Amino acid sequence: MTPQNRTAAVLARLLAVDWSGETSFDFPRSRARLMKEYLRRAAFWARAFEATDQWPFFDVVASLAPEVRTPEGAAAELETLISTRIGWPSVAASARYALRWAAVLDAGVHVPSTLADPFEPLLLLFERGGGYTTEHGFVDLGGASVRLLSWPDHLADEPVVSLDPAELAGLDPA
């Protein structure tokens, strides 16, 4: 991709999400596993950058490349989306973090090869029924609720799920 392409692509994906929550119950298992995979990846990032006090939903770019900002135009478009369609503060913040992460990739910042893209599982989750809420030790996803344990509990070498669309589709009821 050329510079700015990743930012534009992530923004387009966020704008296309059905944030109403109406379809969240259609993808219970894939959304649950994608959230667990996000929590797993985010735990490694938090440990690597001593940001465990900010885990689970946090701005990895603030530690990796604080000088990189989301391009103004894309940031403004996202804020318009947030003000009209995303009400849960953590989801709004995660959308901002995901867009800034894309800006980091566009800027060519070196990313440790041992750390996986933290926001791709979350973007895929958003695309499969919208956001989430948090309550009482759970991340509520609609048809499923993932238990939010401590960050070390989410450290695991093996991915929770493949991000392959076909495999994700096979997890949920037809």
Residues that bind other proteins (CB under 8 A): 20-21, 24-25, 28-29, 32, 36, 82-90, 130-138, 140, 142-147
**Residues 104, 152: Cα–Cα separation, whole Å:** 26
Neighbouring CB atoms inside 10 A of 7's CB total 24
AA letter at 155: L
Tell me whether residue 49 or residue 88 sits nearer to other proteins (CB atom): 88
Residue among 64 and 95 whose Cβ is closer to other proteins: 95
Tokens 């070390």 belong to residue: 152
Shortest distance, position 126 Cβ to other proteins, whole Å: 13
Alpha-carbon distance of 149 to 130, in angstroms, equals 22
Question: What is the rounded CA–CA span in Å between residue 19 and residue 40?
Answer: 24
- The Cα-based distances of 11 to 4, 67, 80, 129 in angstroms read 11, 20, 12, 17
State in angstroms the smallest separation of the CB of 52 from other proteins: 17
Our CB check for other proteins shows the closer of 104 and 168 to be 168
Place of tokens 């048809």: 143
Distance of closest approach, residue 84 Cβ to other proteins, in angstroms:
6
Taking the least distance from each CB to other proteins, the nearer of 64 and 125 is 125
Least distance between other proteins and beta carbon 32 (Å): 5
What's the token pair of residue 7? 């930012």
* Comparison of 25 and 49: residue with beta carbon closer to other proteins: 25
